[in-house]
Structure 1
Amino acid sequence: MSREIVLGVDGGTTAVKAVAFDLAGEIITSHHESVPVQYGRHGEAEQDMNLIWEAVADCIREVADALEPDDTVVSIGLTGQGDGAWLIDEDGEPVRPAATWLDGRAGQRVNRWMRDGRAERVLEVTGTTVFGGLFPVLMEELLEADHERASRATTQFNCKDWIRFKLTGERLTDYTEASRSYLDVRDVSGFSTELAAELGQTDLIGLLPQVRAADAPGGVLSSGAAERVGLPAGTPVGMGMIDVAVTGMGLGTVDDGQGWLILGTTGFVGTLLPEVSRRRSQNSMVLATGRGRQVLEFMAPMTGTPNLDWIRNTLGLAEVPWSEIEQRARASRPGANGVVYLPYASPGGERAPFIDTAASASWMGMSLTTTPEDVLRSVYEGVAFSLADCVRTLDMAGDLVVSGGGFRSDLVCEILADVTGQTVVRQDAPEAGARGAAVLALVSARRFPDLEAASQALACPVERFEPDADRGLIYRATKAVYLQAREAIRPVWPVMRGLRYQDSAGDQS
């Protein structure tokens, strides 16, 4: 019996994937490919754009080959990592590797923008706090440091828009991605030429593609791309959203007042608001959704699950399954016997719920009695505390709907519930990002009349984690120490950062 299928393609930072859903939300098949990030001594974090495309194309082909001959792919939905500089020339070729959202080479430039008022102006117009991976500041850095290549760019994409270009040949973006440059989120009327002029970047607006709604058509599969990915030419391709926003579509959170959390390569805590004037924090970021004046206010800690990957490898447990890793962490007690971990491990510093380009990870409270299990548990707790800090800052009430690979850990869900005192609701099925992209694609392909109907059709069961009062007392006391420790060590972070990047020629043996 023939089935209608929708694909969700997710261009993540460390892996890309394609997922096939039927129109009842069941996952038919999926495939993912790991993609590398190249880190440099001065904060660089880059990816080969053609390598990203080839990995995505391989994923789609693997999924297409696994479908039944009578299956019909009705649309392809897209999402991916946001921010950075994904630059192509007039012929559609990358002019240089993509500098990703993780890139920290512009840290000193960010500090200058914060001192001279440019960062404040960006926040006022776009709702975005400035950090090293944000396009306006990053592009200024690239034009100075790599002028020959960066100046050849004719279009600035984000990851999902680069993927769409390779599928369709269309140079397009959506409102969530446009919010990361010069879009005025106060009236969502278009890019602010006034802001660009104030930043000395009038010419850069010309690099930005046409903006369309996230549930609008994004073109059709070209003949060349069709041959590469194994699907019929003319297959509709949706617009999509940046990954942190599209996940809400997959979780069924599409209305004002609803919110969600993600724990993946980064963290994410966000809530939908009817307009930008309702935002809760000036340190948050805001994305226009393209649905009237609605915005998504969110905070996105720079480093999520890489903290767990790092400690797993550091303790020599790389080959040990995550289920056993979590058991070892549970061998320590809540509060990790006084060990506190600050999870600020990104080369680009931290952006939520505070901004500090020199932020660094560290342990405190260790002694000769500290065990590997204490160290391991402290990392789980530090990651959860970072998210809980954002929940408090955004004044999120009610249940906390969560998604992302990090929340597959029961321990992380339990700690978050205990420290916030709120019920954590975890979606049973994986791939919320790809699912959200599929929801938008089904609306753009007119298989459903609106986002609510498509989201409900693809919805899946959830699991609930209720807070424990006794553990909550311990965690809240531990989190208070976590916050005090962070403020105590912050003055030393810039010096630590300087030691990290000192030239080897000046090292003393």
Structure 2
Amino acid sequence: MNAPLVIAVDCSTTAAKAVISTADGQVAASASRPLLTVQPRASWHEQDAAEWWTATRDAIAAAVGMLDEPGRVAALCLTHQRETFVCLGADDQPLRPAILWLDGRAHAEIAEHGSARVHELSGKPGDTTPAIYKLAWLARHEPETLRDAARVGDVQAVLSLRLTGRWATSPASADTLGLFDLPRRTWSNELLDIAGVRSAQLPDLVPAGEPIGMLLPDVAAALGLPAPVPLLSGIGDGQAAGLALGASEPGIAYLNLGTSMVLGVASDGYRWDPAFRTLAGIGPHDHTLETVLNAAAYVATWCREQLAGDADLEQAAAALPPGAEGLLTLPYWNAAQTPHWDPLARGAVIGWHGRHTAAHLYRSILEGVAYELRLHLERLEAATGTPVTQIRAVGGGARSPLWVRIVSDVTQRPVHVCSAGEASAAGAAALAWSHLTGMTPQQAAAQAAGPLLDGHDVRPDPATAARHTALYEVQQRLYPQLREVFSALADARDVPIG
């Protein structure tokens, strides 16, 4: 009963989630507070960065309030949505809304600066997600914001400032902004020049798992903690989920089937290729290779909210045959990422006929995302030479039996559906336990993995393989044939009226 506890906070795109757990992964308390995303224009996605702090504070306080002995809390660690950034003024308040990872406003800057040189330096192909291009957009369209900003940083840096008074983050968090010379693990002057950012605006870098500082006394009191505890440097939510799910082992990939779809594997050496984006790992020589589609559950949710009415689309789609009776969806609602990296690409649905219903569209969306995952896997394996033998799935989409069945059948690979626990928070907790116990983060994660890895396996149905392969091959012809159409559509959309 007197064993220590750690608090892990995942400040994601949709909510700040605080999870208090033991060293063996048992959850003692948890709480969540929502975050609102606004779309002031098509392809723009923003948040009030002040809400990152209020949601995090309130979630932690609510979780701590459930404990009989808050004094057992020994450490706090953060994980968070990646690539998202905010500019703070001299009073440490946001100068404008934060620009999110899925924001697509900077297509002109990607075209101008998204070179092979930038890819090689940063590990990131020219894409909508890295902050470098949206910072360059600010430098062009809102120069006063970057001029007047005292601080420019990621979600962890903002929360660290509120919690400890120190402007700091980890290399594995800061790297996702796209401003790092990734092989050298330091800010790149060349990339900063492209972004229009000054090095003095950026946070201090603290290696993952090491202390950023002690919580400020008044902050600890507001959270319900009897005394300050250390804030340990965390990592981005994707890397954190990979740590918790044991994806450091060869052949194991983590799949977050959430708002976006992210699949990742570990790499102990630096490599860069259009088949993936390369991210800083926990240690100085560790890397994570990820494939990404910025609209996965995002599109499925859109379909349910806009078209379902009172219908249960999940049940209706499950009753349809593979292939949705000839309907194919290219799920590029928020641009195309792996392996095309085209910010102008958009969603497309082909094959409509009069028999099709909203359920057909819904199933074709689930299948379209799965076909993209198959493409990602094949390109990743070809580039690395290492086969993926098991997929460990988390996220809201992984709670859909239909979607997981489709993913397994389309990829013809086993999928282990993990428990409904918070995988990214579990990775942050592993970093905290590593600091407290002296174990490696991987050892700490393995010790706590039982509750998270509880789940079930879904194995592919070979009877569906031929049909899905035929449809997959058709879908892979869509983007090459529509690429110029997407570009022309973007130009036509911007023609002035009147």
Aligned counterpart for 1:301 among listed residues 293, 304, 310: 293
Letter in 1 for 2:428: A
1:242 shift after superposition: 0.8
Change (3 A) 1:416 1:90: same
1:283 shift after superposition: 4.4
Q: Residues of 1 paired with 2:276 and 2:403: CA distance?
A: 23
For residues 155-213 of structure 1, give each alpha carbon's deviation from its aligned partner in whole angstroms, at most 9, with x where no partner exists.
Answer: 2221122122211111112122232333222243x22335545x384x52332222222
CA contact (8 A) 1:95 1:150 kept: no
Find the counterpart in structure 2 of residue 67 from structure 1.
67
Letter in 2 for 1:220: M
Q: Aligned to 1:51, what secondary structure does the other structure show?
A: helix
CA contact (8 A) 1:126 1:185 kept: yes
1:38-437 equivalences under 5 Å are 38-41=38-41, 43-69=43-69, 72-114=72-114, 119-180=115-176, 181-188=178-185, 190-196=186-192, 199=194, 201=196, 204-255=198-249, 258-277=252-271, 279=272, 281-317=273-309, 324-346=312-334, 349-395=335-381, 396-437=387-428
Find the counterpart in structure 1 of residue 384 from structure 2.
none
CA contact (8 A) 2:49 2:98 kept: yes
Identity %: 27
Q: Aligned to 1:265, what secondary structure does the other structure show?
A: coil
CA contact (8 A) 2:252 2:392 kept: no
Find the counterpart in structure 1 of residue 481 from structure 2.
488
* Residues 329-338 or 221-230, more deviating: 221-230
Find the counterpart in structure 1 of residue 470 from structure 2.
477
1:73 shift after superposition: 1.1
CA contact (8 A) 1:2 1:71 kept: no
For residues 7-63 of structure 1, give each alpha carbon's deviation from its aligned partner in whole angstroms, at most 9, with x where no partner exists.
Answer: 211111122211121222122222222211121225322110112211111111111
Q: Aligned to 1:453, what secondary structure does the other structure show?
A: helix
Find the counterpart in structure 2 of residue 456 from structure 1.
446
Which ranges of structure 2 fall in alignment gaps of 5 or more residues? 382-386
Q: Residues of 1 paired with 2:360 and 2:261: CA distance?
A: 23
1:264 shift after superposition: 1.1
* Residues 3-12 or 58-67, more deviating: 3-12
CA contact (8 A) 1:33 1:55 kept: yes
Q: Residues of 2 paired with 1:274 and 1:151: CA distance?
A: 38
Q: Residues of 2 paired with 1:3 and 1:448: CA distance?
A: 16
1:369 shift after superposition: 1.6
1:449 shift after superposition: 1.6
CA contact (8 A) 1:257 1:272 kept: no
Letter in 1 for 2:439: P
Change (3 A) 1:196 1:48: closer
TM-score with structure 1 setting the length: 0.91
Letter in 2 for 1:223: P
Change (3 A) 1:234 1:457: same
Q: Residues of 1 paired with 2:378 and 2:455: CA distance?
A: 23
CA RMSD of aligned residues (A): 2.1
1:257 shift after superposition: 5.5
TM-score with structure 2 setting the length: 0.92
For residues 300-346 of structure 1, give each alpha carbon's deviation from its aligned partner in whole angstroms, at most 9, with x where no partner exists.
Answer: 111121111111012234x66xxx53222111111111110111112
Q: Residues of 1 paired with 2:263 and 2:70: CA distance?
A: 41
CA contact (8 A) 1:41 1:501 kept: no
CA contact (8 A) 2:154 2:173 kept: yes
Q: Residues of 1 paired with 2:400 and 2:474: CA distance?
A: 24
* Residues 463-472 or 203-212, more deviating: 203-212
Change (3 A) 1:399 1:222: same
Q: Aligned to 1:435, what secondary structure does the other structure show?
A: helix
1:101 shift after superposition: 1.2
Change (3 A) 1:480 1:149: same
